[in-house]
Amino acid sequence: MATFADIGLAAGVNIITALVFLIAFGILRLQPFNDRVYFPKWYLKGLRSSPTQSGAFVSKFVNLDWRSYIRFLNWVPDALKMPEPELIDHAGLDSAVYLRIYLLGLKIFVPVSLLAWAVLVPVNWTNDTLAKSQATDNLQYSDIDKLSISNIPHGSQRFWTHIVMAYAFTFWTCYTLRKEYEKVATMRLHFLASERRRPDQFTVLVKNVPPDTDESVSECVEHFFLVNHPDHYLTHQVVINANKLAKLVKEKKSKENWLDYYQIKFSRNQSKRPMTKTGFLGLCGDKVDAINYQTAEIERLSQEIAEERERVKTDPKCIMPAAFVSFKTRWGAAVCAQTQQSRNPTLWLTEWASEPRDVYWDNLAIPYVSLTVRRLIVAVAFFFLTFFFMIPVASVQSFANIEGIERRAPFLRPIIEVPFIKSFIQGVLPGIALKIFLIVLPTILMIMSKFEGFLSISSLERRSALRYYIFNFFNVFLVTVIAGTAMKQLDTFLHESPAEIPKIIGVAIPMNATFFITYVMVDGWAGIAGEILRLKPLIFYHLKNFFLVKTEKDREAAMDPGSIGFNTGEPQIQLYFLLGLVFAVVTPVFLPFILVFFALAYLVFRHQIINVYNQEYESAGAFWPDVHGRIVIALVFSQLVLMGLMTTKGAAASTPFLIVLPVLTIFFHRYCKGRYEPAFVKYPLQEAMMKDTLERAREPNLNLKGYLQNAYIHPVFKNEDDDEDEHYNAKLDESVMVPTKRQSRRNTPVPSKISGGSSPSLPDVVHENSQF
Amino acid sequence: MATFADIGLAAGVNIITALVFLIAFGILRLQPFNDRVYFPKWYLKGLRSSPTQSGAFVSKFVNLDWRSYIRFLNWVPDALKMPEPELIDHAGLDSAVYLRIYLLGLKIFVPVSLLAWAVLVPVNWTNDTLAKSQATDNLQYSDIDKLSISNIPHGSQRFWTHIVMAYAFTFWTCYTLRKEYEKVATMRLHFLASERRRPDQFTVLVKNVPPDTDESVSECVEHFFLVNHPDHYLTHQVVINANKLAKLVKEKKSKENWLDYYQIKFSRNQSKRPMTKTGFLGLCGDKVDAINYQTAEIERLSQEIAEERERVKTDPKCIMPAAFVSFKTRWGAAVCAQTQQSRNPTLWLTEWASEPRDVYWDNLAIPYVSLTVRRLIVAVAFFFLTFFFMIPVASVQSFANIEGIERRAPFLRPIIEVPFIKSFIQGVLPGIALKIFLIVLPTILMIMSKFEGFLSISSLERRSALRYYIFNFFNVFLVTVIAGTAMKQLDTFLHESPAEIPKIIGVAIPMNATFFITYVMVDGWAGIAGEILRLKPLIFYHLKNFFLVKTEKDREAAMDPGSIGFNTGEPQIQLYFLLGLVFAVVTPVFLPFILVFFALAYLVFRHQIINVYNQEYESAGAFWPDVHGRIVIALVFSQLVLMGLMTTKGAAASTPFLIVLPVLTIFFHRYCKGRYEPAFVKYPLQEAMMKDTLERAREPNLNLKGYLQNAYIHPVFKNEDDDEDEHYNAKLDESVMVPTKRQSRRNTPVPSKISGGSSPSLPDVVHENSQF
């Protein structure tokens, strides 16, 4: 068991690491040549332009103004200064609500920490159980343990304090959760109400249009809605399977990048034309002139794209039995989205259309039966992934040890036997296999969600977050606590009685406090500080800048502002909620470490959201029910674990008092679900009617049909227009005002960031880049 | 363990009991004076009139026609003859679908039985495990056991037969279930589509109308719907709290019954005016002239009712924040019922109105928060009822034993010590406490459901059925199998591992086959045969006929046709499904006994539905998802139990094959739920639009508002009209044609059966009754 000194040392190391990251960030962000790495959001919004356009030559790259270094911590107040309404306007509601999760952590745990330190710590401290058992059993203990529940003697009356505290913490958590749910629901409704006109307010996605021998899908949809929603139907767009086309466009884009690269290379060294090989990854095949080859390839692809585009538009096989149906009023759309259309509930399925940039186009026409089967397959696959992922990892590890390598590749023996390399292989290789798996995990989970057939990027991320949370719960939390692989746990769960499991976990919880304190410091303190440094985007940006960037547009594409990453970020926060709630009663010492995490993360992510991230979509905080639900689960889990611990501590009389807590908590959850969840799922008719009436009064002659006609066109076809726009712009005199152009892009999502006109300062940029 | 001979004897006894019941029924039903007990449905429909109106005097009471006794089994083909569409027309869809549950039992278990006897019985029989263990361990076994899985040696390869059979049975059951779900869903949709115009097609129940200081509830509702459903809103009826009024009316009804009784008594014996006491139940208080007293009481109540009727109509406290809102079209109602109306999802809650006679008026205005709390309370109460009901029963039993009575009431000792009375007390009293509890149980469960706040009688019955099923599962099935009280089981479940529980149950299953065979014969054979005899209604009818009946109307009221009793009947069938599925693989001998039950019950209930029962409401088969879901649960349970049994039989290698079954079954269930359940919950817009269009074409000048104006009036106010009608009819010359009058009552429910005109043969009837 670690002593205060050990913890202090670990804390020191992590605090220093975090500080180093923060200072590095403080300095790097002041350098003009990093400006696009640390402030991409402002560039995308057109509110900041390259600092390279003015001033002395050196100062374009390095900040020589010593005064700015004094104020290098300025970003902290800056990040906090922006008020929430402005933040919503600036970065969208999703981001603002996401920040509220951290804030919720503070709201829950600050009073809990104060209460725990004021009441529980003295109660725990003023015992001598551990000192006695040290004297008798020669048991080692540390000061940390003296502050925990372990220091209370068996069967003591003092446990009633812990039970009362468990009640207090539960009530406070529930109270805060309810407040927050209410607040977020109001924010969401207000956001939706005060929004400008958006196509998704009028549009419903219709899936599983039944095949008809006499009519095309488009005619069929039109007839159906003209008959069944005669007063409200306006227009529709049939979904087209343009996946192949999208692939070709992507390929062309990549070839264009290579062409840029070779052209830049050639322009720097005119003596030698760059060569390439035509085979796999440019590693084998005939050697040819690179620029000519890529130009020819692009030519070929352009033609193929044009052909495919024609084919897609005419081939009935490419027309999917799904359509975006638009209505004359929001009321009509709300009605259609919430009702069943046809006798057969698997045909004419309607749901709200996500906003156009949130649509995940590939999944739009999966038939109903296939969906059920896909869910089954993914559920089984995820089960195996969670509980048996250690089998392949362990087999890779066993392959990657010294003996394994020597047996399979004897010729490597002389190298491996070098002491330094040997210790490296032994120490690092097994870990690497696991690490690689963990890095790839979110991608695997995302692929699972895509396979399962979700229709919007936001729901894909939400489902991945759920799976990641479950995985973390078993493979990070429980694996540490019960000290066995998830597979072993599965065995335990099957062969231990339901009354035994909370005991096993409950007893293990106080013993693992030190480990989790260290975990919080590494993952939660240094990790979050590392997030703000953006090391990977920094390096990639400069690499791209050097090799690929020819135009201002390219530079914009190179920025990679990233986004919040709900599917990995939220499960991480949830793990902290779980730890905080579980340790609150058992080891109150733990709580301050969590508080530091929540405060630091809030600060860092607020800064990132304001200056860096560019959300790909706006779901208006649709993820809050998930967040709320998982905190409730953590709360119930902590109550069960406490009950298990209490029974082993000779306080079995407390069980009836403790069993009330989960029952009440679960009913609290059901109440909240009924009371607030509909705000995240449905669209009240009253609201719709109000907006319709207002709009009719304001703009009586609005041409809604024109507005909605092309709102839900596959992005590939949008790019077509953009490409044409681009050529058109390029041909025009470059008189387009930059701010105006950018303003129009205010709502342009990342996926279409390749759009936009060329920059006026093209030659300059190339010149500058060549100075690196 | 019972031998074939034991089982044969039990079967003989029960078959004879059942036959006695059936023969008694066959004879009793031919007697004219029982006609109204065995054919009330036809009387209510007006298609049968009293046989007392014609023929000789004696033949009015006893059937002297010997030929009819020869054909006394005629009811069997008669019951089967009516085709299903006619049955639906005659008794409603609920009854027809209810019969399909028995039919489903036959469809599932006939092929399963054949297969099991063809394959499993020979496989089990041709072993000598039991014979061997008898030789070595002196273990007793019977021929029945030789046919069961117990006869297969430990770790034998023959278990693969059982696994294959488990697959076959599962697939067959699922296939049949899916077919049946599809069929019932189609029947429901067809029934709804071909129905006549009904008020509930146009009407939505709106609950939780927010209080408004400026407007009354009625104005508030009108404004809200005029704003938010401007093109569809037609009219509304505010819900009035008339519970007190209903109580007064009921009291008056009872007094009128007493008055009738005394008047008949007086008319028979004119020498002495009947006297009564004014106190509690007529047992204490002053002695007064009965006829005068009751007349005065009725007078008083009539006045109170009139006052209360005025008060209810004007007092704003009696107006509840709920209303039945009617729309111009079915489309409008379907839209309103399926969408969220207001920002706050706990206000303006809309749902389909049940048909007027299905509405449970008392629960119409329970606020949202109160509902959540009520659910919590009922859930906790039901938990305790299921697992701890034995505590009060046992304490009553301990009070009611010989020693207890002697200690508490020593003066009774001389009586108790009489050997016959002593043995009676010892043998019967403890059982009586339990029996009384079990008889009262459905009522308790119904009270729970009422307290929970359901709004229609059909949903009350469905919820009670669910609870009764759960209670049966733990307290009949598991108590027998694990041989301990439910409380002990709870302890087992908590302290045994999840892998252990199926083993415990699995091992116990084959040992309990004989008990359940006996259970099926007593409860399923003799019990069902007793149902057709209708002993209780028979006795009550004749008692009422003798003491109370003055008019034809009174006689109609005395009939008590009863109804299916879904809340007790369906859980009973489900228990048989559970038993059948659990024993199918383990002890195939069990299956024929179940088959007899399903066949007999189908026959009996078909007869009862055609001739006796009068459904109180029509929910169009809304209970089928429950039926389907519970059979699936039974199936999954049987698979888990088989898995547990297999592991103890040394066939652990089969576990992976068996674990696939529940996973597949659960996903089958999810598929069915998505595919068919919406047909029972929602009303497709396409359907609504179709009916609207048809109706508009057929009756362009329909006055819908007039039709809907008073459709949802509290039954107490309806009775008011009926009463007036009655007086009116009585005053009229009795020229109203009887068949016509009855025809109009075709859809009149039981609760309002007190309506209707007086009969033309009044003096006759009184005269006849006095002959008893």
Instruction: Indicate the pairing of strand B203-207 with strand B319-327.
Output: antiparallel
pLDDT of residue B751: 37
Q: Which residues of A touch B231 (CB under 8 A)?
A: 231
- Per DSSP, the three-state class of B562 is coil
Distance CA A565, CA A563 (A): 6
Count of Cβ atoms closer than 10 Å to residue B102 Cβ: 21
Residues contacting residue A714 through CB under 8 Å, at least 6 positions apart: A239, A240, A242, A246, A361
The whole-number average pLDDT for the span B319-339 is: 86
The whole-number average pLDDT for the span A59-81 is: 70
**Residue of chain A whose alpha carbon sits nearest to that of B370:** A671
pLDDT of residue B486: 65
- The pLDDT tens digits for B507-519 are 888 888 888 888 8
**Residue of chain B whose alpha carbon sits nearest to that of A665:** B376
Distance CA A706, CA A197 (A): 13
Cβ–Cβ gap A368/B340 under 8 Å? no
Judged by a CB distance cut-off of 8 A, whether residue A501 touches chain B is no
Which among A560, A565, A662, A760 has a CA at the least distance from the CA of A50? A760
Distance CA B26, CA B240 (A): 48
Among B340, B670, B686, the residue with its CB nearest the CB of A684 is: B340
- Least Cα separation, residue A347 to chain B (angstroms): 10
Judged by a CB distance cut-off of 8 A, whether residue B342 touches chain A is yes
What percentage of chain B exceeds 90 in pLDDT? 14
Q: Which residues of B touch A495 (CB under 8 A)?
A: 497, 499-500
Q: Which of residues 644-663 of B touch A (CB under 8 A)?
A: 663
Which among B337, B289, B257 has a CA at the least distance from the CA of B550? B257
* Cα separation values, A24 from A14, A34, A532, A598, Å: 15, 12, 10, 22
Which among A328, A324, A319 has a CA at the least distance from the CA of A354? A324
Judged by a CB distance cut-off of 8 A, whether residue B338 touches chain A is yes
Contact between residue B645 and residue B503 where contact means Cβ atoms under 8 Å apart: yes
The whole-number average pLDDT for the span A683-693 is: 82
- Per DSSP, the three-state class of B485 is coil
Cβ–Cβ gap A682/B345 under 8 Å? yes
B193: amino acid identity, one letter: A
**Residue of chain A whose alpha carbon sits nearest to that of B671:** A372
Interior/surface letters A470-482, b for 16+ CB within 10 angstroms, e for the rest: bbbbbbbbbbebb
Distance CA A71, CA A64 (A): 14
pLDDT of residue B112: 93
**Residue of chain A whose alpha carbon sits nearest to that of B669:** A372
Q: What is the DSSP string of A591-612?
A: HHHHHHHHHHHHHHHHHHHHHT
pLDDT of residue A57: 57
Mutate to test the interface with A, among B327, B669, B685, B690 (most CBs of A within 10 A): B685
Cβ–Cβ gap A227/B689 under 8 Å? yes
Q: What is the DSSP string of A444-498?
A: HHHHHHHHHT--BHHHHHHHHHHHHHHHHIIIIIIIIIIIS-HHHHHHHHHHS-T
Which among A494, A474, A481, A467 has a CA at the least distance from the CA of A387? A474
Residues contacting residue B21 through CB under 8 Å, at least 6 positions apart: B526, B529, B530, B532, B533
- Least Cα separation, residue A329 to chain B (angstroms): 12
Confidence band, pLDDT 50/70/90 cuts, at residue B420: confident
The whole-number average pLDDT for the span A632-638 is: 94
pLDDT of residue B741: 35
Greater pLDDT, A16 or B772: A16
Q: Which residues of A touch B498 (CB under 8 A)?
A: 493-494, 498
Q: Which residues of B touch A494 (CB under 8 A)?
A: 497-499
What percentage of chain A exceeds 70 in pLDDT? 82
A215: amino acid identity, one letter: E
ipTM for the predicted complex comes to 0.74
Cβ–Cβ gap B339/A335 under 8 Å? yes
* Cα separation values, A327 from A208, A230, A231, A324, Å: 19, 10, 9, 10
The whole-number average pLDDT for the span A748-760 is: 36
**Residue of chain B whose alpha carbon sits nearest to that of A224:** B686
Among B494, B671, B677, the residue with its CB nearest the CB of A372 is: B671
Judged by a CB distance cut-off of 8 A, whether residue A334 touches chain B is yes
* Cα separation values, A120 from A131, A165, A676, B132, B689, Å: 19, 8, 34, 66, 66
Distance CA A38, CA A59 (A): 17
Res. A309: pLDDT tops 60: yes
Judged by a CB distance cut-off of 8 A, whether residue B281 touches chain A is no
Q: Find the range with the poorest average confidence among A123-137, A527-541, A669-683, A731-745.
A: A731-745
Distance CA B761, CA B754 (A): 18
Fill in the DSSP letter of residue A119.
I
The whole-number average pLDDT for the span A98-110 is: 94
Q: Which of residues 182-221 of B touch A (CB under 8 A)?
A: 189
* Cα separation values, B222 from B237, B366, B568, Å: 10, 21, 41
Cβ–Cβ gap B335/A340 under 8 Å? no
How many contacts (CB atoms, under 8 Å) link A and B? 128
Confidence band, pLDDT 50/70/90 cuts, at residue A201: confident
pLDDT of residue B655: 79
- The pLDDT tens digits for A82-92 are 888 888 888 88
Res. A606: pLDDT tops 60: yes
**Residue of chain B whose alpha carbon sits nearest to that of A369:** B671
Most confident of A479-493, A566-580, B204-218, B256-270: A566-580
Judged by a CB distance cut-off of 8 A, whether residue B674 touches chain A is yes
- Least Cα separation, residue A225 to chain B (angstroms): 9
The whole-number average pLDDT for the span A205-215 is: 83
- Least Cα separation, residue A339 to chain B (angstroms): 6
Q: What is the CA angle B414-B417-B423, rounded to 5?
A: 145
Res. B765: pLDDT tops 60: no
Contact between residue B330 and residue B691 where contact means Cβ atoms under 8 Å apart: yes
**Residue of chain B whose alpha carbon sits nearest to that of A340:** B684
Among A228, A372, A380, the residue with its CB nearest the CB of B685 is: A228
**Residue of chain A whose alpha carbon sits nearest to that of B334:** A339
pLDDT of residue A746: 38
Q: Which residues of A touch B224 (CB under 8 A)?
A: 686
- Least Cα separation, residue B181 to chain A (angstroms): 13
Among B339, B346, B678, the residue with its CB nearest the CB of A334 is: B339
Contact between residue B346 and residue A182 where contact means Cβ atoms under 8 Å apart: no
Q: What is the CA angle A343-A344-A346, rounded to 5?
A: 140
Res. B431: pLDDT tops 80: no
**Beta bridge mates, A233:** A327
Contact between residue A588 and residue A147 where contact means Cβ atoms under 8 Å apart: yes
Distance CA B230, CA B224 (A): 9
